[in-house]
Amino acid sequence: MHIAEQALLSLLLNSTENRFQVSKGAPNYLSSAEMAELYAKVAFLGAAIEFLQEKYWLKNRDDNISGIKKTNAEFIAPFFIDELLALSFLKSFFETVESKALKPLLKKILVIESALLECIKMRSDTDRKDFTTKSLQAMSLLFQDEERRQGSSDEPIGPRLYRAFDGLDLIFNLDYSCDKTMIVDKKNPERLYQGSGVGVQSGYSTILLALHFSNLPKNSCVVDLGSGYGRVGLAFSLLRPDIKFIGYEYVPHRVALANDTGRAFQLESNLTFIEQDLSLEDFKIPEADAYYLYDPFTKETYEHVLRQIIAVSKRRSITVVTKGNAREWLLDIAQAHSWPTPVYVDGGNLCIFRSQPKPL
């Protein structure tokens, strides 16, 4: 059993008080890499418990109908073959946990996660960067596994991970409460998602699956059109420091916070967030290898932005990653310009388009 697995099992069986240490040499001190592995398992465990709560509800209903009651061990065993394989070291533990104990166990998991992240936040910038990078690597593997299980099914198969790792925003210092005091020009028709909290950002699953399936060449340039608080750029830059990333965002405080985190993580040489109204006629989108769009625009701004992206695609091959309704705009463009069929991820919620420049 790995150190992180031993630590998690110990936390589940014992008190969590004073479990995480900031200073090296202290009892129970875990390195940033060990803390990252532990964080990924703790956050996944939270989603797994919610998954088991649903399954136990169905089990109890079926048991009442059939009159045949399965033991806990019999019931959970199949889940640890696939859906909960990442937690196989906890199989024996869960064989002893009754369904009514899952709710207080979930509360304990949330306390553990909060304490872990608070400890990391108090460590050095170098430690925080290393922790976040390794957490993202572990999360990416979990998201890829979730995508494999999901396949073409419309129903979730296994724990739902879309919002399971939002706690990582604490380490990125992404404070969405800043939106509460923002003054919005009512004459501005753009969708700024003020008051949406974490919903203003792409989920970590979307971001990491986009990076994985885009398969961007070394030293690629990526442009995020509507970058919000910078989640996409921060994650891309930590996992692929060779990438040059430029994020454009209309809201000033979001840009400031994103750049502050980039500097704290020493990413500023290849990561930049710029305050920009993309609807302005004189705004020129820079040429890039890839563009990321998370449904941020009005119809008029879409047309202004996409005209420029189409122009770039006629000169070079590009990748366009879309989230949400932005897909519909790109589907029309792909058909009109004979682009290959896009890669559909997360049931089509995330689409990755690749252009084919016309031969000279």
- For the segment(s) 177-355, the CATH number from 3.40.50.200, 3.40.50.300, 3.40.50.150, 2.60.40.10 is 3.40.50.150
pLDDT at residue number 151:
78
pLDDT at residue number 359:
59
Q: How many CA atoms does the CB half-sphere of 290 hold within 13 Å? A: 25
* Residue boundaries of the structural domains of the chain: 3-170, 177-355
Tokens of 180: 């509460």
The answer to whether the Cα torsion of 227, 328, 204, 211 is positive or negative is: negative
pLDDT at residue number 360:
53
pLDDT at residue number 267:
97
Distance from chain centroid for Cα 304? 29
CB distance 198 to 171 below 8 Å:
no
CA distance 127 to 130: 5
pLDDT at residue number 301:
86
Check: pTM over 0.75? Answer yes or no. Answer: yes
In DSSP notation, 27-84 reads TT---HHHHHHHHHHHHHHHHHHHHHHHHHHHHHHHHHHHS----HHHHHGGGGGTTT
Q: Where are the alpha helices (DSSP H) in the chain?
A: 3-13, 32-66, 72-76, 91-95, 102-121, 125-150, 169-172, 204-214, 231-239, 252-264, 299-313, 326-336
Among residues 264, 203, 271, the alpha carbon closest in space to that of 241 is found at: 271
pLDDT at residue number 112:
94
CB distance 310 to 283 below 8 Å:
no
- Residue spans of the chain under pLDDT 50: 189-191
User: pLDDT tens across 316-326, in order?
Assistant: 999 999 987 78
